[in-house]
């Protein structure tokens, strides 16, 4: 017998008793009114009981979408797919990554889709740092005020500042000294990216200016070998093929990258610039805690799995699970850091 049929039986039993009590004698008008009133009340109670039974359906009961606001294939996509696969296996409902690249809008169109979805845990955002740190500060109405809470941060991209092996400097301090009297060309992926801003802010604080800087679609071994740039701001995986013939001066990460352990993290060189390009899982603020907990349980286990850690080992990325409270504190700290960097670059 289902919960619904039990509820019906329990609420309609008094109704049957009411009618039975009236049998054996001729009911008067007052009796009829009393019976009608009690029967109506019994039906109302039954309706409430059945509605309540439907409202407490356990999460998840239908497909779940993880929104990645970038094309398929990069680290956040690969790792979020692992989480979605494990979610589906654990809870027995369909779970999928939905890629929503925003073109010139970056990650924000995808973030808007998550912000506009019901706060029920069926639409989850896999967001880069810019969404929670900047999204509510750059006049994007659907993201203002801040719409999201972190479930956890799980990826730090392995951004580095690198130069060719024959460059006349082997550290950021030596680069700063050299650049004060020599032209040094910087290659990066665009001014708006956090690693680019950190790289330029470091120059300001170290007392030098880049001789020139330009955005590239690709920054790899060929960029340095061809002399298109003297110093590049790129991800470690793009220079892995020539890692033995280049110098990694620093990593724009929270901690040193195991593949290049001798390169200090940027925060070791300048505490005011201690920030990294990271990715995490987010839900809208009214999402119930029990729903959050179920997503977190799967994501944490996924990121600490052997296959996720293999991605870290192969690419130099940092793959981990930072809980919701620590992630929220990190975001607040990053907002303050980006404000300082913005002030330096004005």
Question: Tens of pLDDT along 289-322?
Answer: 999 999 999 999 999 999 999 999 999 999 999 9
Q: Are 125 and 282 in contact (CB under 8 A)?
A: yes
Mean pLDDT of 119-143: 92
pLDDT of residue 39: 46
Residues 19 and 81 in one domain: no
Residues 269 and 174 in one domain: yes
Q: Sorting pLDDT into bands at 50, 70 and 90, what band is 139?
A: confident
* Strand ranges for the chain from DSSP E: 64-68, 95-99, 123-128, 148-156, 159-164, 185-188, 212-215, 231-235, 246-251, 278-284, 318-322
Specify the higher pLDDT residue, 54 or 328: 328
Residues 172 and 76 in one domain: no
Residues 290 and 269 in one domain: no
- Is the pLDDT at 145 greater than 80? The verdict is yes
User: In 3D, which of 280, 273, 283 has the Cα closest to residue 300?
Assistant: 280
- Is the pLDDT at 263 greater than 50? The verdict is yes
Residues 51 and 93 in one domain: no
Residues 172 and 261 in one domain: yes
b/e map 319-329, b = 16+ CB within 10 Å: bbbbebeebee
Considering 223, 246, 273, which residue would you say is the last residue of a domain?
273
How many structural domains does the chain have?
3
Angle 77-100-133 from CA coordinates, rounded to 5°? 75
Residues 131 and 168 in one domain: no
- Is the pLDDT at 46 greater than 60? The verdict is no
pLDDT of residue 312: 94
User: In 3D, which of 263, 220, 261 has the Cα closest to residue 239?
Assistant: 220
pLDDT of residue 35: 47
Residues 194 and 296 in one domain: no
Mean pLDDT of 22-49: 48
Mean pLDDT of 119-145: 92
Pairing assessment for the beta strands 185-188 and 212-215 based on DSSP bridges: parallel
pLDDT of residue 19: 40
User: In 3D, which of 73, 89, 219, 206 has the Cα closest to residue 160?
Assistant: 219
Work out the mean pLDDT of the chain and round it to a whole number.
87
Using a pLDDT cut of 90, give the percent of the chain over it: 72
Tokens representing 43 are 């039906």
Which tens digit of pLDDT belongs to each residue from 242-257? 999 999 999 999 899 9
Q: Are 231 and 238 in contact (CB under 8 A)?
A: no
pLDDT winner (highest mean) among 27-31, 44-48, 89-93: 89-93
Which range (223-227, 276-280, 282-286, 338-342) has the least confidence?
338-342
- Burial (Cβ within 10 Å: 0-12, 13-18, ≥19) of residue 73: exposed
- Is the pLDDT at 17 greater than 60? The verdict is no
- Is the Cα dihedral 16, 21, 23, 29 positive or negative? negative
Give the domain range for residue 294.
Answer: 64-157+277-345
User: In 3D, which of 128, 153, 135, 132 has the Cα closest to residue 68?
Assistant: 128
pLDDT of residue 218: 84
Which tens digit of pLDDT belongs to each residue from 169-218? 999 999 999 999 999 999 998 887 889 999 999 999 999 999 999 998 88
Residues 169 and 102 in one domain: no
Residues 173 and 235 in one domain: yes
What are 99's strand-pairing partners? 68
- Is the pLDDT at 14 greater than 80? The verdict is no
φ, ψ of residue 45 to 5 degrees: the values are -65, -40
Nearest-angstrom CA–CA distance, 120 and 97? 17
Q: Are 281 and 136 in contact (CB under 8 A)?
A: no
Residues 176 and 325 in one domain: no
Residues 153 and 282 in one domain: yes
- Is the pLDDT at 162 greater than 60? The verdict is yes
Residue 227, domain CATH: 3.40.190.10
Q: Could you tell me where the DSSP H helices lie in 153-264?
A: 172-179, 194-206, 221-225, 236-239
User: In 3D, which of 279, 283, 308 has the Cα closest to residue 83?
Assistant: 308
pLDDT of residue 98: 98
Q: Sorting pLDDT into bands at 50, 70 and 90, what band is 2?
A: very low
Residue 309, domain CATH: 3.40.190.150
pLDDT of residue 148: 97
Considering 273, 292, 313, which residue would you say is the last residue of a domain?
273
């Amino acid at each position: 017998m289902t919960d619904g049929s039990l509820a019906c039986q329990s609420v309609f039993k008094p109704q049957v008793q009411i009618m039975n009590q009236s049998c054996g004698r001729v009911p008067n008008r007052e009796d009829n009114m009393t019976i009608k009133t009690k029967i109506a009340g019994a039906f109302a109670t039954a309706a409430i009981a059945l509605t309540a039974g439907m409202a407490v359906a356990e999460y998840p009961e239908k497909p779940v979408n993880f929104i990645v606001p970038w094309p398929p294939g990069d680290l956040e996509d690969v790792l979020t797919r692992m989480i979605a696969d494990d979610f589906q296996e654990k809870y027995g409902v369909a779970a999928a990554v939905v890629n929503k690249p925003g073109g010139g809008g970056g990650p924000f169109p995808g973030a808007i889709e998550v912000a506009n979805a019901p706060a029920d845990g069926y639409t989850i955002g896999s967001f880069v740092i810019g969404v929670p740190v900047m999204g509510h500060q750059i006049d994007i109405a659907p993201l203002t005020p801040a719409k999201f809470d972190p479930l956890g941060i799980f990826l730090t991209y392995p951004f580095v500042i690198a130069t060719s092996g024959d460059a006349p400097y082997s550290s950021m301090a030596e680069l700063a000294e050299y650049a004060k009297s020599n032209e040094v060309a910087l290659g990066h992926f665009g001014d708006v990216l956090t690693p680019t801003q950190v790289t330029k802010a470091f120059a300001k604080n170290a007392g030098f200016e880049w001789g020139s800087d330009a955005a590239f679609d690709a920054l790899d071994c060929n960029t340095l070998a061809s002399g298109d740039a003297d110093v590049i701001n790129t991800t470690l995986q793009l220079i892995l093929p020539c890692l033995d013939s280049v110098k990694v001066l620093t990593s724009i990460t929270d901690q040193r990258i195991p593949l290049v352990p001798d390169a200090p993290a940027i925060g070791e060189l300048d505490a005011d610039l201690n920030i990294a390009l990271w990715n995490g899982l987010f839900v809208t603020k009214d999402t119930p805690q029990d729903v959050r907990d179920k997503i977190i349980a799967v994501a944490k286990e996924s990121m600490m799995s052997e296959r996720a850690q293999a991605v870290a080992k192969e690419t130099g990325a940092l793959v981990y699970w930072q809980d919701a409270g620590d992630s929220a504190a990190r975001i607040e700290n990053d907002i303050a850091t980006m404000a300082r960097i913005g002030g330096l670059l004005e």
